[in-house]
């Protein structure tokens, strides 16, 4: 069985921190699907097609990585894709508390799907999509932080 992981998130936008994490995860799995969660009620910072286009270009040099969208439970999406792993990242202790809760819930509803959490490298630990959105809202050029 190929080891397939889903890397779920909003990726609004995908940051250099997300991409660095993804690169470190590539050797761990046969295939990784970057799964952009779609929320029809929430207008994003970047339109969905632009978000996807940017991610596709950023992962073009990683043949093991696919990009997809989903609008269901992450574990249901894992089943649909035959994925046994959920990849997530943590930057600090507040991220950890949040990720632990999500992983616990996912384990309750899908005990056979394992969450794999990688720690952010310190140089990316301050980079988040929300930080990028906030800087951009105040007119700051955010290109060095996004893919």
Binding mask 28-67 for ligand ADP (x = CB under 6 A): ----------------------------------------
Which residue among 4, 6, 17, 55 contacts ligand ADP (CB under 6 A)? 17
Q: Is 139 left (phi over 0), alpha (psi -120 to 50) or beta?
A: left
Binding residues for ligand ADP restricted to 109-138, rule: CB under 6 A:
120, 124, 127-129
Annotated active-site residue 91? The verdict is yes
Annotated active-site residue 129? The verdict is yes
CA-CA-CA-CA torsion for 64, 30, 46, 13, nearest 10 degrees?
-110
Choose the catalytic residue: 10, 31, 42, 54: 42
Annotated active-site residue 18? The verdict is yes
In DSSP terms, 37 is beta-bridged to 70
The structure tokens listed for 145 are: 């932080």
Euclidean distance between CA atoms 57 and 19, whole angstroms: 11
Annotated active-site residue 42? The verdict is yes
Q: Catalytic positions, please?
A: 18, 42, 91, 129
């Amino acid at each position: 069985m190929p080891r397939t992981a889903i890397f779920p998130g909003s990726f609004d936008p995908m940051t250099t921190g997300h991409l660095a994490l993804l690169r470190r995860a590539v050797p761990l799995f046969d295939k990784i699907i970057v799964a952009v969660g779609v929320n029809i009620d929430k207008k994003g910072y970047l339109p969905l097609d632009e978000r996807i286009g940017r991610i596709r270009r950023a992962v073009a040099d990683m043949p093991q990585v696919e990009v997809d969208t989903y609008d269901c439970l992450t574990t249901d999406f894992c089943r649909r894709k035959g994925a046994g792993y959920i990849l997530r990242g943590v930057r600090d202790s507040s991220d950890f508390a949040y990720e632990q809760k999500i992983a616990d819930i996912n384990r309750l509803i899908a005990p056979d799907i394992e969450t794999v959490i990688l720690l952010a490298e310190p140089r990316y630990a301050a980079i988040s999509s929300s930080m990028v959105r906030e800087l951009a809202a105040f007119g700051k050029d955010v290109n060095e932080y996004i893919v």
